Structure 1
Amino acid sequence: MNKIITFLIAILLLASCNPTTLTFSFIYNDEGPNKEIATRMKNLLESKYNVEIRLVEGVGTDANLDSLVEGKIDIALVENYVNYREGLNSAFSVYSEVLHIFHKESVDGSSFESLIYSGPVYIGREQSPTYNLMMDLFDFYGLDPSLIDVTFNMSEAGVVVELTNLFSKESLKAYEGFNMFSFDNVENLGSASIAEGIALKYPRMSPFVIPQGSYWGFSDVPIVTLAVDLIMVVRSGMLEVSVNDFAQTMLRNRQIFTSIDPLLFNGLREDFDQSILNIPLHEGARTFLDRDEPSFIERYAELGGVILSIIIALWSGIVSLTKWQAQKKKDKIDEFYEDLIKIKNAIPTLKTISEGIQKIRRVQAAQNKAFEMLIAEKLVANDSFRIYMELSKETINDLRGRMRVLKAKG
């Protein structure tokens, strides 16, 4: 008994130390600041929790989502413009990706229609968030897709569409000889502008203004365009406590990420608009974001701590008393085991049905005696007792099986 108690205490101590490191896989597309965001997320989470974050570079949004649905990946960064899939949930918004439409100076950019119909248009990989967004814009403007020359080779395009973070001065050099398309004049915002009309029909998009001077003279007027949130998504089966901890840690330490790109300053916010999420929020993230309404436990946490301390002290006393009483009882279950094993080992050598009947009665008598001793508190209803009862039932079944064989032969 002492050995069993010592073993159980050791197990509890090991459990309380929580030596197991949980491993999560995190996939991202190496576009814009995503790699740096993923790396800082990994470092932050590993420093706060006993976890290991394995970073995986993805090959495309659809493939990344497939990996999550199949359970190969736990976490991903994707645009809030992907189609809903079963088995996925959102955790929080990271930042807004801005729609940039560049067109060569020779291309007529006076309207969206003339721009798109003017020649080869690059809108990203097929079924990518950029591609899907542009298809919705074609529908909004009533354009005929069969008349649009879509190319998947950026170098041959006269119009290039990118859904990304803000461009650096260095990255804008790739667009020398290009102008940037604006959906409307900035003065019209707030007065039913075309950008607001698009956002009304497609609420996952929102109007966005690239202010004059933001791109080092690339454009001499403000650019009115659209933005889409990049979000962190997780497997639906991921534990609520893990998602809660991750969301809380990321959003409360957003200063670590804001130096990556200005868009993250307003992107990583606890009060982001949950209603426009195309992928439902994970319950673990919801419990964190809705924490402003204190639960009963939070409201009475101090009183609960005192009560819990008293309960623990009483429970410790009861456990100690129970162990002391258990040590006084002589554990005779081994004697029952020894007799039962002898009977079980002799089953293959049984020659007659009457021998089998005698042994079954012997096992049943031992069972009755064990129960009598249990009632008299000479045995303890521990795991050893339960295993003995199961083993005795199994032995009786084996004896009956042997008797059926003998009957068939006789």
Structure 2
Amino acid sequence: MKKVIQVLGVIFLLTSCNPTLNSFTFIYNNEGPNEEIALRMEQLLESQFYNVDIQLIEGISTEANLDSIASGSIDIGLVENYVNYRPGLSSAFSVYSEVLHIFHREDIEGSSFESMVYAGPIYIGRPESPTYNMMMDLFDFYGLDPDRINVTFAMGEAVVIVEFTNLFTLEKLRNYEGFKLFSFDDIQNIGNASVVEGISLKYPRLSPFIIPQNSYWGFTKEPVVTLSVDLIMIVRSDLLEVTVNDFSKTMLRNRQVFTSIDPLLFNGLREDFNQGILNIPLHEGARTFLDRDEPSFLERYAELGGVILSIVIAIFSGIVSLTKWQAQAKKDKIDEFYEDLMHIKNLIPKINQIPTAVENVKRVQAAQNKAFEMLIAEKLVANDSFRIYMELSKETINELRGKMRFLKAKMDRTTS
């Protein structure tokens, strides 16, 4: 019995010490604070879920990132809410608002969007990036002539530089010495059919945003009226509801982990964000959390139940295998007794001396005693094989004693 417990203990350790490890790939573009956000998300999720492993991947471009998620090769991503809908993608939650910053050189006309854009080379990010697509929409909104716009992909050559990013630090603003920040409108017009409100009406994924006075030192001697777009956590549509529910809950309820990265994350990571502006539909797992429609016990612990069931099956299989092995081992042992007994039984006709017969009687009796000792020690089982052996051994002893009587009588006849 002690061996059974030891073997079961080994089986349990082998199964319980290797829980199912779920690996998820997380892609992001290394722009603004996105890398630091992704890194803290990785650390938070791995610390909260013992069987979760997050692999961070730096993306090439927004479109390529979306293709990877839609194809199923990537599980999670950080993407601006200024991308076109495509099957296979779902939103989880809003992370923070990226602010549109348009810097123009001090020596060019920046009183209007049109005169600024026509003034010289303009950098609007990589082709097909959210910044590029958004600026193309703004060119269309203002009715600008594409042939007069000199788009450059070399930031150093540009007299106008456009960036969608988080709030700038003083250190980063030093890179824009000799530039000014463009404001779409006067702050007095906000709430009175201003230009930014017209833009957000036509492009609802964009929202008016005000960079307050003096928040950017010399760049904001007056408030700057601009636009913002939400950075969204995107997931594969076929990712399990429970997984997305738990991930969303963990990150939104631990938003203090992220707020030190940038002030915009304080208001960005909220459970009550505007779901209506999402260009990519909300994942059902995120919806159940935001609507407080929590997964059932069976849904939440289905995977754990599978692991436990696997452990139970492994233990049961181990018990069955061990039982069969023990039964076979005991059968092998009784077979050894049979083999020795049959050897003695076959020798009886050849015995011609009484001491030899006596020696074999003792040998059979010793084997009987040993068999009983092994039965008590549970090394043999009291089944039909054991009982037949005991009967056969008694019969062999009687045959040997009969042989002894025959040899004694023969000796007596010889001496008389």
TM-score, scaled to structure 2: 0.67
- Tell whether the 8 Å contact from 2:85 to 2:279 is kept in structure 1 after alignment: yes
Aligned residue in 1 for 2:405: none
Q: Alignment partner of 2:41: what SS? A: helix
Q: Which amino acid counterpart does residue 48 of structure 1 have in structure 2?
A: Q
Looking at structure 2, the residues matched to 12 and 98 of structure 1 have their Cα atoms a distance apart, in angstroms, of 54
Aligned residue in 1 for 2:58: 57
Cα deviation, 1:177-211, whole Å, max 9, x if unaligned, reads 00110000111111111111111111000000000
Matched, 1:32 2:54: no
Aligned residue in 1 for 2:147: 146
Larger Rg, first or second structure (1 or 2): 2
Looking at structure 2, the residues matched to 193 and 38 of structure 1 have their Cα atoms a distance apart, in angstroms, of 36
Looking at structure 2, the residues matched to 143 and 17 of structure 1 have their Cα atoms a distance apart, in angstroms, of 65
Looking at structure 2, the residues matched to 52 and 29 of structure 1 have their Cα atoms a distance apart, in angstroms, of 20
Quote the RMSD (CA, aligned, Å).
2.9
Deviation at 1:217, TM superposition (A): 2.0
Looking at structure 2, the residues matched to 70 and 294 of structure 1 have their Cα atoms a distance apart, in angstroms, of 28
CA change 1:62–1:295 in 2 (3 A) is: closer
Could you list the runs of 5+ residues in structure 1 that have no partner in the other structure? 1-6, 298-326, 328-410
Aligned residue in 1 for 2:194: 193
Q: Which amino acid counterpart does residue 48 of structure 2 have in structure 1?
A: K
Q: Alignment partner of 2:199: what SS? A: helix
Aligned residue in 1 for 2:373: none
Matched, 1:41 2:50: no
Aligned residue in 2 for 1:101: 102
Cα deviation, 1:88-142, whole Å, max 9, x if unaligned, reads 1111000000000000011110101111111111111111000000011111111
Aligned residue in 2 for 1:239: 240
Aligned residue in 1 for 2:88: 87
1:374-389 equivalences in 2 (<5 Å): none
Q: Alignment partner of 2:46: what SS? A: helix
Q: Alignment partner of 2:56: what SS? A: strand
Q: Alignment partner of 2:261: what SS? A: coil
CA change 1:59–1:116 in 2 (3 A) is: same
Aligned residue in 1 for 2:77: 76
CA change 1:11–1:145 in 2 (3 A) is: farther
TM-score, scaled to structure 1: 0.68
Q: Which amino acid counterpart does residue 59 of structure 1 have in structure 2?
A: I
Cα deviation, 1:137-168, whole Å, max 9, x if unaligned, reads 11111112122111111110110000000011
Q: Which amino acid counterpart does residue 115 of structure 1 have in structure 2?
A: M
CA change 1:249–1:121 in 2 (3 A) is: same
Q: How many positions carry a matched residue from both structures?
A: 300
Looking at structure 1, the residues matched to 296 and 245 of structure 2 have their Cα atoms a distance apart, in angstroms, of 19
Q: Alignment partner of 2:57: what SS? A: strand
Q: Which amino acid counterpart does residue 262 of structure 2 have in structure 1?
A: D
- Tell whether the 8 Å contact from 2:288 to 2:295 is kept in structure 1 after alignment: no
CA change 1:62–1:8 in 2 (3 A) is: farther
Deviation at 1:10, TM superposition (A): 10
Aligned residue in 1 for 2:179: 178
Matched, 1:161 2:172: no
Matched, 1:284 2:285: yes
Q: Which amino acid counterpart does residue 178 of structure 2 have in structure 1?
A: G
CA change 1:22–1:194 in 2 (3 A) is: same
Q: Which amino acid counterpart does residue 269 of structure 2 have in structure 1?
A: L
Deviation at 1:70, TM superposition (A): 2.1
Q: Which amino acid counterpart does residue 230 of structure 2 have in structure 1?
A: D
**% identity of equivalent residues:** 70
Looking at structure 1, the residues matched to 126 and 169 of structure 2 have their Cα atoms a distance apart, in angstroms, of 23
CA change 1:147–1:169 in 2 (3 A) is: same
Q: Which amino acid counterpart does residue 34 of structure 2 have in structure 1?
A: N
Could you list the runs of 5+ residues in structure 2 that have no partner in the other structure? 1-6, 298-322, 324-416
Deviation at 1:12, TM superposition (A): 10
Aligned residue in 2 for 1:23: 23
Aligned residue in 1 for 2:207: 206
Deviation at 1:219, TM superposition (A): 2.4
Looking at structure 2, the residues matched to 225 and 272 of structure 1 have their Cα atoms a distance apart, in angstroms, of 20
Looking at structure 1, the residues matched to 206 and 183 of structure 2 have their Cα atoms a distance apart, in angstroms, of 15
